[in-house]
Amino acid sequence: MFYSFFNNLFQSFILKTETYYLQNSFNASLRPTSLAAVIAKLDQLKSDDTVEKVTLGREVVLVNQQDQQEYRVELVYPPRHKPRAGRYSVISDLGVSLLGRSKGEYAEVNILGKPVLFMVKDIALSKK
């Protein structure tokens, strides 16, 4: 029982730490080649007016494959990055991994050196 209590406490701490990191990670240190790739991907997706791919202004429902928790996020330009409001920059770790994904695809984000897998459950135009 003692072990179970501390194990649950530790798992809760890990989940909260991962959530904090995800909400506060802002990958401002992208290498120029990585940043150029993000810009090229955005340019390519700009001409695609369907809602089938994750890009700027799309509301995305994600499912964390580790704990099955759902998240609703919107990809935005860096100045509008407000994770607590569900808005993530396209150059954040999460934004880079989601960009261009389709419904049903998986995106992997490294959180504190550990890969976390998200599935894109739904994509819609942002209502904001």
For 24-35, the pLDDT digits (tens) are 555 555 566 676
Nearest to 125 by CA among 75, 71, 64: 75
Of 3.10.129.10, 3.40.50.1970, 3.30.70.580, 3.10.50.30, the CATH number of 2-125 is 3.10.50.30
Look up residue 37 and give its two tokens.
Answer: 């790739």
Model confidence pLDDT, tens digit, residues 6-55: 667 667 766 666 665 555 555 555 566 676 777 777 777 776 666 688 88
Is the whole-model pTM more than 0.85?
A: no
Delimit the domains of the chain by residue range.
2-125
> Backbone dihedral region of 31: left (phi > 0), alpha (psi from -120 to 50 degrees) or beta?
beta
Tokens in use for 1?
């029982």
pLDDT digits (tens, 9 = 90+) for 61-110: 999 998 898 999 998 888 888 888 888 888 888 888 898 899 999 999 88
**CA-to-CA distance for 71 and 94, rounded, in angstroms?**
12
